[in-house]
Structure 1
Amino acid sequence: MISNKARYAFRALLTVAAAPEGEAVTSAEIARRYNIPHKFLEQILLDLRKAGILDSRRGKSGGYVMLRPADTVSFGEVLRIFEGPLAPLPCLSRQSYRRCEDCVSEAQCEIRREFGRAYDASRAVLDTRTIGDALTNSAYGTPWRREERQAG
């Protein structure tokens, strides 16, 4: 199960990526649209900015814009920012490898082998599907019209 923080990050990214090119989306708009606590969302957006995915603009037409194209931002990349390694066992993690304390032989471990298959399959999906892919044929794919954004 992913955390609210990761879920809100995906909502924010999908919203910003769906905006017309060059048009910034404010954190207040995103928070209001999805009923996300504004201060919490600001922390999430800052993490996405630090990761080089979003950029922020100041001023009258300020807000957040995509720093990278949406089709270059994978679900796996974003999930790792907020959840850390995706591996279900420490002995499967590429970034935080740790041998299981009760393991006699990783090569013969049935648990590692079966969870490794599941991990490989989920990683293959999460690392190849992008925010851009998710926008195709989705409600996010229709950019907000300015009057809809201001009505809220």
Structure 2
Amino acid sequence: MLSQKCKYALQALLVLARQNSDELLLVSDIAERENLPKKFLEAILLELNRNGLVRSRRGRGGGYALAKPADLITFGQVVRIMDGPLAPLSCVSVNYYRKCDDCRDEQTCEIRKVMRRVRDAVAHELDGTSLAQALAEGKGRAVLEG
């Protein structure tokens, strides 16, 4: 399940993705637009900054912006930064693999086979969806609903 921290990170990144790449936004502006707790959002943006997804400038005229184009930031990157592995079990994780203590044989484990398919499907969707694509999909829905 996606943590609230990760969901807030995605919301903040989508706000930044809607902005001109040269325009910096204050934490308070992002928090207000998305109705997010400012202190929690500050910690999230610091983590995104440390991981190279956003850039910041302090002081007057400061704020946050995306560190790279929205089409180069995927949901998968954000989820891994905020929540860790995508895999439901460590034995099927690509980046965080760890053998299960109670598994007799990974090659024949029925649970592992199913969880690997789950992991692959989740990774395919999250790694295949950029912030730019999500925004485009949202605009498409707004036009259809409007």
Higher RCO (Cα < 8 Å, 6 or more apart): 1
CA RMSD of aligned residues (A): 1.3
Q: Which amino acid aligns with 2:103?
A: C
Uncovered stretches (5+) of structure 2, i.e. residues with no partner: 140-146
Between stretches 94-103 and 105-114, larger displacement belongs to 94-103
Residue 94 to residue 24, structure 1, CA distance change in 2 (3 Å): same
Q: Which amino acid aligns with 1:37?
A: P
SS at match of 1:86: coil
Residue 110 to residue 137, structure 1, CA distance change in 2 (3 Å): closer
Question: 1:22 corresponds to which residue?
Answer: 22
Percent identity reads 46
Q: Which amino acid aligns with 1:34?
A: E
What's the CA shift for 1:100? 1.4
Q: Which amino acid aligns with 2:68?
A: R
Q: What is the rounded CA distance, in whole Å, between the counterparts of 1:48 and 1:133 in structure 2?
A: 20
What's the CA shift for 1:121? 1.1
Q: Which amino acid aligns with 1:98?
A: R
Q: Which amino acid aligns with 2:138?
A: S
Normalising by structure 2, we get a TM-score of 0.89
Uncovered stretches (5+) of structure 1, i.e. residues with no partner: 140-152
Normalising by structure 1, we get a TM-score of 0.86
SS at match of 1:33: helix
Question: 1:7 corresponds to which residue?
Answer: 7
Q: Is 2:41 the counterpart of 1:41?
A: yes
SS at match of 1:64: strand
What's the CA shift for 1:137? 4.2
Question: 1:96 corresponds to which residue?
Answer: 96
Which runs of 4 or more aligned residues in structure 1 lie more than 4 Å from their structure 2 counterparts after TM superposition?
Answer: none
